[in-house]
Amino acid sequence: MSIDYKSIGRRIKAARISLDMTQERLAEKVNLSPSHLSNIETGTTKVSLSTIVKLANALHVSVDSLLADSVVQSKAVFEQDIQTILSDCDDYEIRVIADIAAATKKTLRKEAKLKSAWKKPGC
């Protein structure tokens, strides 16, 4: 699996915005130039592990949460993302989202069975 720098950048930006922090302030906290941080947030430059750790600490998030889209075992991070998404939903929105999630899960599992049957020799 390759590292998804665009997703890492989006997660850094989202965490920064949730703290109501400017790029300039975050860049200052982790000793980066604002333009370099901008490039990290847009995924146009690769980011080192040491910089990811500095950013995670400055943003009060886990490194896992920043790398979630690049790590196979990240269920807990995505569960937290879902909880955050749902936190401000009303009863109707929750019901619609639950229905969509159930239908999506059913389709994913059906497609997985079809895909595995398709790959079997002799079919």
Interval 15-67: pLDDT, tens? 999 999 999 999 999 999 999 999 999 999 999 999 999 999 999 998 988 88
Q: Are 11 and 69 in contact (CB under 8 A)?
A: yes
Is 0.75 topped by the overall pTM? Answer: no
CA 105 to chain CA centroid, nearest Å: 19
Domain containing 54 — which CATH number? Answer: 1.10.260.40
Same domain for 54 and 13: yes
> Which range of residues forms the domain containing residue 121?
89-123
Same domain for 59 and 23: yes
Name the domain count of the chain: 2
74 pLDDT band (50/70/90 cuts)? low
Q: Are 67 and 8 in contact (CB under 8 A)?
A: yes
Same domain for 65 and 111: no
Same domain for 52 and 95: no
DSSP class of 70: G
Same domain for 106 and 68: no
pLDDT of 121 reads 60
pLDDT 10s digits, 75-122: 777 788 899 899 999 999 999 999 999 999 999 888 887 777 776 665
Same domain for 69 and 22: yes
